[in-house]
């Protein structure tokens, strides 16, 4: 991080330098979806007629949400309450749309439910091992796209929206922060298992997750949701098991999008 002083201050200054306004959020999201769909269609056959609609919302406990509506359609909600950097928006949109949640659900609906008659794939239960696979796919999806040749196109789309983005630096920062992926899980364990108070838990999040007070408060709100207190595990654990199994092999990533896989299968194979 450039500059001097505490790391958290330098990190936040770096994020703020590429802060996305509400108007820019809609432009970036549209551009990212178009480019990400093209990348995804090169990995897996997207069913004809699939699509997503994006809605900017507020006062939600999460940052983004993919509602699969059936019929190969999804509604993506992005929470505008939290300020985000351009890099964070890229990750979030790839996570929720292509080749993340929407891509997985519509591909499996077409291949497994419609064509193979596996009706159990028509329902998604949270929080379950199925959630761990889904979040692992979505977290890994963003990484695979940004580290591919499409990453430069996505960075250019961000620049066209009036923001600065150094893709190489963004990827280096994300790799450096990978060591902190389990901070939210640790916070949940502190809060629910160890009896830590909200102030102590927020202090931990801000110290080790490099969060602002605004972000730590939002993280606590997420942890207080009945289905989120355990769901928080699925992001870091899911990414870890999926990334280890895929190993950069896009054919293996395609299998995650098209086949019924279990956590135990991935652990055993890796």
DSSP 92-139: HHHHHSSSSHHHHHHHHIIIIIITT--GGGG---TTSHHHHHHHHHHH
Mean per-residue pLDDT of the chain? 93
Model confidence at 269, in pLDDT bands (50, 70, 90)? confident
- Given a contact cutoff of 8 angstroms between Cβ atoms, the answer to whether 103 and 51 are in contact is no
Burial of 136 (0-12, 13-18, 19+ CB in 10 A): buried
Among candidate residues 247, 192, 200, the one with its CA nearest the CA of residue 222? 192
Question: What mean pLDDT do residues 83-101 have?
Answer: 95
DSSP notation for 191-231: HHTS---HHHHHHHHHHHS---HHHHHHHHHHHHSTTHHHH
Task: Kindly tell me if the per-residue pLDDT of 55 is higher than 90.
Answer: yes
Cα dihedral angle (74, 80, 86, 88), rounded to 10 degrees?
-70
What pLDDT is attached to residue 64?
93
Residue 270 reports pLDDT greater than 80: no
Instruction: With beta carbons less than 8 A apart as the criterion, state whether 256 and 270 touch.
Output: no
pLDDT digits (tens, 9 = 90+) for 99-127: 999 999 999 999 999 999 999 999 888 88
The answer, yes or no, to whether residue 179 has pLDDT greater than 90, is no
Q: Which residues contact 192 (CB under 8 A, 6 or more apart)?
A: 223, 229
Evaluate whether 61 touches 228 at the Cβ level (below 8 Å). Answer: yes
CA distance 103 to 46: 7
Contact status, residue 7 vs residue 207, Cβ threshold 8 Å: no
Backbone angles phi, psi at 158, to 5 degrees: -65, -45
Residue 33 scores a pLDDT above 90: yes
Instruction: Please tell me whether residue 51 adopts helix, strand or coil conformation.
Output: strand
d(CA 19, CA 133): 31
pLDDT in tens, 225-265: 988 888 999 999 999 999 999 999 999 999 999 999 999 99
Give the pLDDT mean for 179-191: 94
pLDDT at position 197 is 96
pLDDT digit string, tens, across residues 129-178: 999 999 999 999 999 999 999 999 999 998 888 888 899 999 999 999 98
Average pLDDT over residues 45-65: 94
CA angle 95-209-174, nearest 5°?
50
β-pairing verdict for 51-57 and 73-79: parallel
pLDDT value of residue 79: 92
Quote the tokens at residue 68: 């699969």
| pTM metric for this prediction | 0.95
What is the percent of the chain with per-residue pLDDT over 70, rounded to a whole number?
A: 100
Dihedral Cα 266, 240, 128, 209, nearest 10 deg = 180
Q: Is the distance from CB of 64 to CB of 76 less than 8 angstroms?
A: yes
């Amino acid at each position: 991080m450039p500059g001097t002083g505490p790391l958290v201050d330098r990190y936040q200054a770096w994020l703020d330098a590429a802060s996305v306004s509400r108007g820019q959020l809609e432009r970036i999201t549209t551009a990212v979806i178009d480019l990400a769909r093209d990348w995804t269609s090169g990995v897996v056959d997207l069913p004809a007629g699939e699509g997503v609609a994006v809605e900017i919302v507020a006062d939600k406990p999460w940052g983004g949400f993919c509602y699969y509506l059936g019929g190969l359609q999804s509604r993506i909600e992005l929470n505008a309450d939290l300020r985000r950097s351009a890099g964070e928006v890229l990750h979030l949109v790839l996570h929720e749309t292509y080749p993340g949640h929407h891509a997985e659900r519509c591909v499996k609906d077409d291949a497994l439910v419609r064509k193979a008659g596996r009706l159990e794939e028509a329902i998604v239960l949270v929080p379950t091992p199925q959630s761990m696979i889904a979040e692992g796919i979505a977290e890994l999806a963003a990484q695979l796209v940004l580290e591919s040749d499409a990453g430069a196109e996505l960075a250019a789309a961000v620049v066209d929206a009036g923001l600065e983005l150094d893709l190489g630096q963004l990827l280096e920062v994300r790799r450096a922060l990978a060591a902190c992926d389990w901070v939210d899980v640790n916070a949940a364990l502190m809060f629910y298992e160890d009896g830590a108070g909200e102030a102590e838990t927020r202090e931990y999040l801000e110290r080790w997750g490099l969060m602002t007070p605004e972000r730590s408060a939002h993280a606590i709100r997420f942890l207080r949701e009945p289905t989120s207190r355990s769901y928080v595990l699925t992001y870091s654990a899911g990414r870890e098991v999926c990334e280890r199994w895929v190993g950069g092999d896009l054919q293996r990533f395609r299998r995650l999008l098209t086949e019924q896989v279990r956590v135990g299968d991935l652990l055993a194979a890796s």
